[in-house]
Structure 1
Amino acid sequence: MKVDDGYEVVIGLEVHAQLLTKTKLFCGDTTLFGQEPNTQVSIVSLAHPGTLPKMNKEVIRLAVTLGLATHSEIVQRNYFARKNYFYPDLPKGYQISQHTTPICKGGFLEITVGTEKKSIKLNRIHMEEDAGKSIHDDNTPYTQLDFNRAGTPLLEIVTEPDLRSAEEAAAYVTTLRKLVRHLQVCDGNMEEGSLRCDVNISVRKKGDEKLGTKVEIKNLNSIRFIKKAVEYEKEQLIQKLKNGETILQQTKGWDETTSTTYIIRTKEDEDDYRYFPEPDLPPFNITAEEIETVRNAMPPLQSEIKEKLQTTYGLSTYDASLLAEDTELAGLFFGIAKETTNYKAAANWVIGPVKNHLTAQDESTDARTLNPSSIAQLISLTDEGLISYGIASQKIFPHLLSHPQTDIEEYIKSESLGLQSSDETDAHIDAALTKHAQKITEYRKGKKGLLSLFVGEVMKLSKGKANAEEVTKKISEKLNG
């Protein structure tokens, strides 16, 4: 019996997205990543006495952009609040965030899991400053603090408890990451920590309406880890319920070396944060005109991309839908389409080999790392009959992924990947028909599906170097002649 038989997992996510601003939320310190510790700081971010924060207006624009893209209500009258939970890696000892007036309320994000689509409701999107980084080095008994990240602007995107599986949680973060990249709100780099996820998870008997006691898993920086953490904690919680144990409200971390969670603290409620309006920052208003200015400057959303793919490039509804629901793939298609007029082939490449590669690589790569010019060249060489699609997709494309600067035509020559001669093709056809001679009679009696057997044998003998269309035509002529 499965451990989750009779139980349902309920998941809500809090995603923290560092914004693509040049400076921090309340001062002019730069937000460059990977600099020497404590070099991207100033008297403001270090909270020297007498210093005051000053609002970065670009943060408001980016927040409104994401709010509009997720169908949220933009809250026009706003203010910041102090969150007085102790932060050892924020020099002030508290965080400036938003509480009762998040800049965006409600909204939703549509995800796809397999063939199923689901709308995940958002509770809020609010602005806050990031904390610094605590470094625990085995070589010293002390905790080291790097304040470079302290004060970096964040958007926290909080869902309702609408997710019901690890797959849905992973799909949501994947979709959100693609959206913030498309909008140029956040670079989505989870390995560098610019997109991080907290998972709130509880379990209950199937059919129950009341939510169970939640456990929060903090700072997951990989979609793979999100899936693993949900699966692990779900099993732990269900087992506790089966054993009659009391589930405590806890905050946990994720140990990626053991693929287990560990307790950070127990029982933490909103009251522990002691919010109150930030006295050093005045309230601010966002006008309807400012919201419309942001809306008009936004890149096209999925529905607009789909229409463009169909009307401008003549793609089918199916192909356009697949590309439009992934803005990174759509962007790659548009890049390829600048260098070829074979738009159907461009779509096939993106939906086929490219998407398969990205799926296999999980979150470690994305479509932006691929060179559209190289794919356009492979399409051209295939159309000219110099290489086969099989060779292009199965031999040359994988090589280009690890050697992007390769001269494609030189590589084809050096590896003898060009299409074989007509005489070589004829020889392979004769060999294939001789090998499957008993099938020829069956074909001529009406089993026309055997044609693919003969073609496949020729392609196998030619190691993919035969032109499949030419092979199909020649075999048909021989068998029907």
Structure 2
Amino acid sequence: MLDLSVPAPKPKVIEGVTGPWELVIGLEVHAQIATAAKLFSGASTAVGAEPNSQVSFIDAGMPGMLPVVNEGCIAQAVRTGLGLKARINLVSAFDRKNYFYPDLPQGYQISQLYHPLVGEGEVLVEVGGGVRRVRIERIHVEQDAGKSIHDMDPTMSFVDLNRTGVALMEIVSRPDIRGPEEAAAYVSKLRQIMRYLGTCDGDMQHGNLRADVNVSVCRPGTYERFLEGDASGLGTRCEIKNMNSLRFIQQAIDHEARRQIAILEDGGKVVQETRLYDPEKGETRSMRSKEEAHDYRYFPDPDLLPLEIEQAWVDDLAASLPELPDEKKTRFVRDFGLSDYDASVLTADTEDAVFFEAVAQGRDGKQAANWVINDLFGRLKKEGHALAESPVSPQQLGGIIDLIASGDISGKIAKDLFEIVYTEGGDPRGIVESRGMRQVTDTGAIEAAVDEVIAANPAQVEKARANPKLAGWFVGQVMKATGGKANPAAVNALVNAKLGL
């Protein structure tokens, strides 16, 4: 687990003309639930289909069509709540959020305002050498709207209803985040946990994970008083909608905070509103005044009974949860002797962790981590490939490490062997045998090579005896003469003995 004895990182401070200001940030993260069908219909959720090809009568808002809850969506939301150590509400209910928009054919969105499925939880976020505990207020399940397309024809707008009715989890945090970097780290941690759980793929590029960011500024000390129950000094918050990039989230928060500070220091008042971020201009702009719940005229959905689930069902889901990132990282440090940094890299994605464990099984963990992170991951990143495209399997990489451990090859030969396996494939041991790459461990052969190099370089011998650091030159010459196959430890020992060092 993360070390909570480490002090939480200090809040982001922006120096204004009239003194310092601090940021207070809360996020509403919309995560598409990973299921094959939508929340209230059997229509497909697959990405890339032709527009309006995955729309049921329910999604299209046809009269008389009644929604039926997809149990798989509820299970995924409960699993997410359990992964965030949240309270699961055995009774929840759906409400109608009423507003008009062309891509919302029902004229309302089915959501959970008053009685959400998941209650309070928490996320531990590592940032700036510390750990921030971000409280989760709630997770409610709701259906997504469609998509309006405005760039196909300048004179017309088009509507694609494929996303209509897709199940979302809205994960609402408390205003515990204190800077742009923390906000990005929080979203990244949520995405990591949900990927481990298999409840959301976290694909921000396709809109499967997006965030509404609430930003306000206040004077130092105000937030601490807020935690004690005094909210009088908190600033007015503005919401930045539909952020689908970690980098843009940070940029938007920084700009919005500075915009608010400029208004306040000029004697004005920040207006509570919804804003959009323009990444090309690097600024937020007003979208509309901030709506409150009564603006949407929420009321219980008359077509859906309260959702009641059994504790035994929740317990079964809890028992099926996989090992989560924090626990896996702790185990990697403990069982494989990894550094905190290496363990973080290897547990960033569940696929990375599975690959590493397959390589490290029964082998030196630190050595396996070095090969996976530096040689394999480094090469894949350089070439723009994902781990799924790796030409080197865990078995092949483990085979290279085994050959080093057995003394059959040196570290230098291993690098050459890795290049062959990466570009040509094949069994590492078979390649070593067929290409004569086995390390020379015969001390007689190595001694002959050492004698030959020493005899050919008498002047260098005198220099090395006067300055033992120069003995490395002889080692290099012997390795060169043996094609890099000589055992480096044996070469070092013989050179030192022959030179009398």
Band of TM-score, shorter chain: 0.7 to 0.9
1: distance between equivalents of 2:283 and 2:238?
A: 14
Aligned match of 2:58: 44
- Contact 1:433 / 1:440 at 8 angstroms: preserved in 2? no
What does residue 92 of structure 1 align with?
106
Q: Is 1:146 matched with 2:156?
A: no
1:31 to 45, 66, 69: 45
Which one-letter code corresponds to 2:190 in the other structure? L
Contact 2:346 2:356 (8 Å CA) reproduced: no
1:85, distance to aligned residue in structure 2 (A): 3.0
> Which residue of structure 2 aligns with residue 107 of structure 1?
121
Q: In terms of Rg, which structure is larger?
A: 2
SS at structure 1 position matched to 2:314: helix
Change (3 A) 1:156 1:142: same
After TM superposition, give the deviation of residue 261 of structure 1 in Å: 2.4
Q: Distance in 2 between matches of 1:420 and 1:395?
A: 12
Q: Pairwise mapping of residues 66-465 of structure 1 onto structure 2 (< 5 A)?
A: 66-137=80-151, 139-209=153-223, 210-302=233-325, 305=328, 309=332, 314-316=335-337, 318=339, 322=344, 326=348, 328=350, 329-337=352-360, 341-350=363-372, 352=374, 370=390, 371-373=393-395, 375-380=397-402, 382-383=404-405
Report if aligned partners of 2:338, 2:365 keep a CA contact under 8 Å in 1.
no
1:250 shift after superposition: 2.1
CA distance in 2, matches of 1:397, 1:289: 53
Aligned-pair CA distance for 1:434? 8.9
Greater alpha carbon shift after TM alignment, 294-303 vs 141-150 = 294-303
Inter-partner Cα distance in structure 1 for 2:382 and 2:272: 36
What amino acid is the match of 2:74? I
CA 1:334–1:246 in 2, change beyond 3 Å: closer, same or farther?
same
Give the secondary structure class of the aligned counterpart of 2:336: coil
Q: 1:383 to 1:324 in 2, by over 3 A?
A: closer
Residues 420-455 of structure 1, C-alpha deviations (whole Å, 9 max, x = no match):
9979x979x999999999898566xxxxxx69x959
Aligned-residue sequence identity (percent) comes to: 37
Unaligned 5+ runs, structure 2: 1-12, 224-232, 441-445
Q: Deviations over 1:290-322 (max 9, x none)?
A: 1101111111234653576578xx422746964
Aligned to 1:65: 79
For residue 90 of structure 1, give the secondary structure of its aligned residue in structure 2.
coil
CA distance 1:302–1:275, shift in 2 (3 Å): same
Residues 1:309 and 1:272: Cα distance change in structure 2 (over 3 Å) = same
Query: Unaligned 5+ residue runs, structure 1?
Result: 444-449
1:197-222 deviations in whole A, cap 9, x for unaligned?
11111111222243211121111212
| Partners of 2:92 and 2:306 within 8 A in 1 | yes
Whole-angstrom CA distance in 2 between matches of 1:14 and 1:273: 18
Maintained 8 Å contact 2:78/2:314? yes
Secondary structure of 1:73 counterpart: coil
Distance across 1 between alignment mates of 2:205 and 2:110? 25
Write out per-residue CA displacement over residues 134-183 of structure 1, whole angstroms, 9 at most, x where no aligned residue: 11115331111110011001111111111111111111111111111110
Code of the residue aligned with 2:47 in structure 1: it is F
Q: What amino acid maps onto 1:55 in structure 2?
A: V
CA pair 439-107 structure 1, distance change in 2 beyond 3 A: farther
Q: What do the CA deviations read for 1:213-246 (whole angstroms, capped 9, x no partner)?
A: 1121111212222222222222222233333332
Aligned-partner Cα distance in 2 for 1:27–1:478:
82
Contact kept, 8 Å, 1:12 with 1:161, in 2: the verdict is yes
Q: 1:167 to 1:303 in 2, by over 3 A?
A: closer
Q: Which residue of 1 aligns with 2:15?
A: 4
Stretch deviating more after TM superposition (27-36 or 351-360)? 351-360
Question: Is contact 1:84-1:95 (8 Å) kept?
Answer: yes
CA contact (8 A) 1:202 1:214 kept: yes
The 3 A distance-change label for structure 1 pair 385 and 74 is same
Calculate the TM-score normalised by the size of structure 2. 0.77
Aligned partner letter, 1:294: L
Asked if 1 retains the 8 angstrom alpha-carbon contact of 2:237 and 2:272, the reply is yes
Q: How far off its partner does 1:78 sit?
A: 0.8
- The aligned length equals 460
Q: Which moved more, 1:464-473 or 1:110-119?
A: 464-473
Alpha-carbon spacing, 1:175–1:358, altered in 2? closer, same or farther (3 Å): farther
* Alpha-carbon distance, 1:124 to partner: 0.8
Query: TM-score normalised to the size of structure 1?
Result: 0.80
Residue 447 of structure 1 is matched in structure 2 by none
Q: Output the CA distance in 1 between the equivalents of 2:353 and 2:22.
A: 36
Counterpart CA distance in 2 for 1:432 and 1:205 is 74
**Displacement of 1:341:** 3.5
Q: Does the C-alpha gap of structure 1 residues 380 and 213 become closer, same or farther in structure 2, counting only changes over 3 Å? A: same
Per-residue deviation at 1:255?
Answer: 2.4
**CA–CA distance in 2 between the matches of 1:13 and 1:163?**
8
Q: 2:333·2:343 contact (CA, 8 Å) conserved in 1?
A: no
Q: Deviation at 1:368? A: 5.6
Contact 1:76 1:286 in 2 (8 A): yes
Asked if 2 retains the 8 angstrom alpha-carbon contact of 1:125 and 1:157, the reply is yes
How far, CA to CA, are the matches of 1:66 and 1:76 in structure 2?
15
Taking a change above 3 Å as real, the CA distance of residues 174 and 352 of structure 1, as seen in their structure-2 partners, is farther
Aligned mates of 1:92, 1:432 — CA distance in 2 = 89
Q: What secondary structure is seen at the aligned counterpart in 2 of 1:137?
A: strand
CA RMSD of aligned residues (A): 4.3
Q: 1:436 to 1:355 in 2, by over 3 A?
A: farther
**Per the alignment, do residues 272 and 260 of structure 1 end up closer, same or farther by CA in structure 2, a change over 3 Å counting?**
same
Structure 1 SS opposite 2:26: strand
**More divergent stretch after superposition (19-28 vs 345-354):** 345-354
